[in-house]
Amino acid sequence: MSDPNPNANPPGDERWARDTLTKLAFAAVTEQRRARRWGIFFKFLFFTYLVGLLVLAWPDNLGNATAATKKHTAVVRVNGLISSGTEASAKNIIEALRKAFKDEKTVGVVVEINSPGGSPVQAGEIYDEIQRLRQQYPKLPVHAVASDVCASGGYYIAAAAQKIYANRASIVGSIGVRMDSFGFTDAMAKLGIERRAYTAGNNKDFLDPFKPVNPEEVRHLQGMLDAIHQQFIAAVKQGRGERLKDNPEVFSGLMWTGEQSVGLGLVDALGSTRHVAEEVIGEKTIVDYTKHTRWLDRLLDGTEADLGEALLKALGLDGTARWR
């Protein structure tokens, strides 16, 4: 008697084939889902990568990119160490100053300084540019405001302004030059280390920290520092004129509070950036022109600076002069 439903109990080979096809079908569906999930994951990863690049490359001062539509007081901030590899570099500060002076809506410029100093070259370039811009735009007043610290190269920059303002507790001054080095001769002798240096040129190992102090080299170095110091003094006298009190301590490298600095003629009066904008320049609307480097640029510049610093240290040439 024949089976009324031949598909109810298929032979073993047919069941195996059907099960296999079913498993293959489910496997294919599962693989498609997995591939779709991986596709979504990689698309998301790529999107995140693009967003990261945009964030790194995007300028920090995007909010100030649009020029002010009304008259304003322009502010350029000098923050931190004044060096070619920092935001307070001559390149960044000069670019911001030129943009501020060029804007037809600018009625006055405030250079706000919070810096302990840094490179004499960088500070000197900013000083010269402020003097040049004052001649090019004689109707635009430019004042300096000392924040927490306005010392050394920071004060050098401030001296280029028409007037200098400070808080009572601001630290002002430090008109001097300093270079740091070190000596390892005694330590080398105790450790039994022999120094081997090969040079071409009698003074190529000038101030080598691994050899005893040479009085002639120290004399030559002191002459260099004195010359740079005189440049600093001349710039301050040119900027401040007769307002400076006849006090030899002014150029000794000492620092004073903002309140004490008024009595010495280093500062004209006490006041903040807001006070200068509203009461001195007469325009309370403030637009910040400070140039901020992009995160990506900081990363690359920092890497280059670290490599350069490591190279200088390896060569024993990292004793650079600084306004201090």
Residue 47 has pLDDT above 80, yes or no: no
- What's the pLDDT score for residue 318? 47
Q: Report how far Cα 58 is from the mean position of its chain's Cα atoms.
A: 17
Options 83, 119, 152, 261, the catalytic residue: 152
> What letter represents residue 188's amino acid?
M
152 assigned to active site: yes
Asked if residue 263 lies in contact with residue 245, where contact means CB atoms within 8 angstroms, the answer is yes
How large a percentage of the chain has pLDDT more than 90? 53
Residue 223 parent element (H or E): helix 215-240
SS3 288: strand
Nearest alpha-carbon partner for 93 in 154, 51, 2, 139: 154
Looking at residue 4, its pLDDT comes to 53
pLDDT at 112: 97
Q: Give the orientation angle of helix 90-102 with respect to helix 120-136, to 10 degrees.
A: 10
> What is the rounded average pLDDT of the residues 138-149?
96
Q: Indicate which residue of 43, 102, 204, 284 is catalytic.
A: 204
Quote the Cα angle for 199-177-320, to 5°: 30
Q: pLDDT band at residue 8, thresholds of 50, 70 and 90?
A: low
Q: What is the CA radius of gyration of the chain?
A: 33
Fill in the amino acid letter for 294.
R
Torsion angle defined by CA atoms of residues 75, 303, 148 and 151, in that order, rounded to the nearest 10 degrees: -100
Q: Would you call 261 a catalytic residue per the annotation?
A: no
Residue 54, pLDDT above cutoff 80: no
* Predicted confidence (pLDDT) per residue in 305-319, tens digit: 455 555 555 545 444
Quick check: 71 and 285 in contact, CB under 8 A? yes
Domains in the chain with CATH codes: 67-323 (3.90.226.10)
pLDDT at 35 over 50: yes
Residue 150 pLDDT more than 70? yes
Angstrom distance (rounded) from CA 85 to CA 88 = 8
Cβ neighbours, 10 Å, residue 320:
13
Q: How far is the C-alpha of 229 from the C-alpha of 206, rounded, in Å?
A: 21
Mean pLDDT of 49-63: 52
Residue 182 CA to residue 177 CA, distance in Å, equals 17
Q: Which residues pair with 163 in a beta bridge?
A: 143
Nearest to 262 by CA among 324, 170, 176: 170
Q: What is the value of pTM for the model shown?
A: 0.71
Terminal C-alpha separation, the chain: 113
Above 80 in pLDDT, residue 228? yes
- Within 10 angstroms of residue 63's Cβ, the number of other Cβ atoms is 8
Average pLDDT score, the chain: 82
In three-state secondary structure terms, 257 is strand
Over residues 200-228, mean pLDDT: 86
